[in-house]
Amino acid sequence: MTVLSLSLWIAAAVCLQLALWLSISFWRHWQEYRQLRWHTRDQTLPPSPAQPMATPGSSAAWNGYRSFRVERKEFEDGLQSVCSFYLVPEDGKPLPPFLPGQFLTFQLPRDNSNPIVRCYSLSDAPHADHYLVSIKRVPAPPDSSLPPGLGSSYFHDQVAVGSKLQVRAPSGHFHIDQGHAPVVLIGGGIGITPMLSMLYWLLAQQPQREVWLFYGVRNSQELVMAPQLRQLAAQHPQFHLQLCFSNPLPGDQPGRDFQHQGRVDIQLLRLLLPLKPFHYYICGPGPMMQSMVAALEDWGVSDSQIHYEAFGPASIKRRGVAQPETGAAEPVATGEAILINFARSGKQLAWQASAGSLLDFAEANGIVVDSGCRAGGCGSCQTTIRSGEVTYRQTPDFDPEPGNCLLCVCTPKTSLTLEA
């Protein structure tokens, strides 16, 4: 091969690499432009100002389920795996404010089967005319016979503009406070959704309050609402946006597309955050949250300044924080059998500690109980306690009525008689 032909081959290879890089870069910017166009073009819903949030501890805005109509839906990420649903009430009445960080509970119909009950975080500040939830499609786990997520698949595949949905009032104990302490929001993956609700409310209602958002994803294709976040960071000097990519694409450029390569961890927080009494709000995958909470505790952050939202039934272990209990009875003596009497079903069974929760125990013994989130969030498994007492494995987000318990997150403290 001559020197000339070798040079031509090298030049061709360089041109090919350059063309590939330009194609990836153009495609990524086109996706961001398309998302931004969706949010700036004529919309069915006119913009409405953010409301002041509800008062913590206030009662539910309505009882039971309320009918909502999907006014608009749109994808929020490059992979089109996260879709936002704009919900307006069928009765046309104004919506009461909620606490930014709370969630909605949906009852989704199924053919010839019990409805699906799922909880999804609100992803916008409170507005009087609509709610917004942003839902990620949950695929089937790789190398597994498990099906894809029922709730997310229903929303992505069957919910269209004009669809009617049954929705419970916003609830949940994870929400922003109305104080003036600086705030650090930490979101991993789809855990960004409650962070967005908090962020939008803070910038609208407390624009002088210092806010840091650490948002971790694998690459630019997984970013949710990226154009809006960058625009807000440019407009609000008190808002500091830190995007962290654990596996950037070839076209993802440091400083332009993301600020840090790697995961959100305590070293990054200690490097960037000034010494101030921040309150930390965390939502994301369980391992990320467990490690972050423990690291913040090791750093000396007090329990009262660490707030988090866990997905599913898993709870985060806190040092020096006792597990919540209901009732004041002493534990049953060792060796004494705990009997569970299911009054409506006519069954009396000896409790087995290995059963897990009372809901797991009931289902294992053929007793049908309504359930949904299985994490103490939706209230579907609320059951009346005729006698006896229970203890909770974790603090539920749904507050059961007096004399009731949430079977999915509690175990018996004494022998029980349940209305089930």
Task: Say whether both 302 and 353 belong to one domain.
Answer: no
Q: Which of 139, 171, 203 is the last residue of a domain?
A: 171
The helix or strand, by DSSP H or E, that contains position 266, with its residue range, turns out to be helix 266-272
pLDDT at 42: 38
**Which residue in the block uniquely carries the two structure tokens 């306690």?**
385
Task: Say whether both 187 and 295 belong to one domain.
Answer: yes
117 neighbors 372 (Cβ within 8 angstroms): yes
Task: Say whether both 305 and 193 belong to one domain.
Answer: yes
Report the number of distinct structural domains present in the chain: 3
Asked, for residue 275, whether it belongs to a domain, the answer is yes
Residues sharing a CB contact under 8 Å with residue 40, sequence separation 6 or more, in sequence order: none
Asked, for residue 319, whether it belongs to a domain, the answer is no
CATH number at residue 83: 2.40.30.10
Asked, for residue 315, whether it belongs to a domain, the answer is no
Asked, for residue 25, whether it belongs to a domain, the answer is no
Asked, for residue 252, whether it belongs to a domain, the answer is yes
Asked, for residue 367, whether it belongs to a domain, the answer is yes
Q: Which of 309, 324, 359 is the last residue of a domain?
A: 309
CATH number at residue 363: 3.10.20.30
CATH number at residue 270: 3.40.50.80
Task: Say whether both 300 and 205 belong to one domain.
Answer: yes
Cα dihedral 190→191→193→195 (10° resolution): -150
pLDDT at 44: 42
Domain that holds residue 300: 183-309
Task: Say whether both 187 and 305 belong to one domain.
Answer: yes
**Do β-strands 183-188 and 211-217 pair in parallel, antiparallel, or remain unpaired?**
parallel
Asked, for residue 412, whether it belongs to a domain, the answer is yes
| Angle at CA of residue 169, ends 213 and 311, nearest 5° | 45
SS3 404: strand
Task: Say whether both 162 and 211 belong to one domain.
Answer: no
Task: Say whether both 100 and 136 belong to one domain.
Answer: yes
Task: Say whether both 392 and 290 belong to one domain.
Answer: no
Contacts 24+ apart (CB under 8 A), 55-62: 56/99, 56/175, 56/177, 60/168, 60/169, 60/171, 61/95, 61/96, 61/98, 61/169, 61/170, 62/169
Per-residue tens of pLDDT for the chain, all 420 residues: 576 676 666 767 666 776 666 665 555 544 444 444 334 333 444 456 666 666 665 555 788 899 999 999 999 999 999 999 999 999 999 999 999 999 999 999 988 777 888 999 999 999 999 999 999 999 888 877 778 888 999 999 999 999 999 999 998 889 999 999 999 999 999 999 999 999 999 999 999 999 999 999 999 999 999 999 999 999 999 999 999 999 999 999 999 999 999 999 999 999 999 999 999 999 999 899 999 999 999 999 999 999 998 655 445 666 655 544 444 334 444 457 899 999 999 999 999 888 889 999 998 999 988 887 788 878 889 999 999 999 998 778 788 889 999 999 999 999 999 998
> For residue 58, what is the DSSP state?
P
**Which residue in the block uniquely carries the two structure tokens 């534990």?**
331
> For residue 362, what is the DSSP state?
H
For every residue of 210-258, which 3-state class applies, written as one string? CEEEEEEECCHHHCCCHHHHHHHHHHCCCEEEEEEECCCCCCCCECCCE
CA dihedral sign of residues 377, 381, 384, 388: negative
The reported pTM is: 0.79
Task: Say whether both 93 and 166 belong to one domain.
Answer: yes
Q: CA 219 to CA 203: how far, in whole Å?
A: 26
Task: Say whether both 145 and 208 belong to one domain.
Answer: no
Task: Say whether both 298 and 345 belong to one domain.
Answer: no
Task: Say whether both 251 and 135 belong to one domain.
Answer: no
Asked, for residue 257, whether it belongs to a domain, the answer is yes
pLDDT at 369: 86
pLDDT at 351: 94
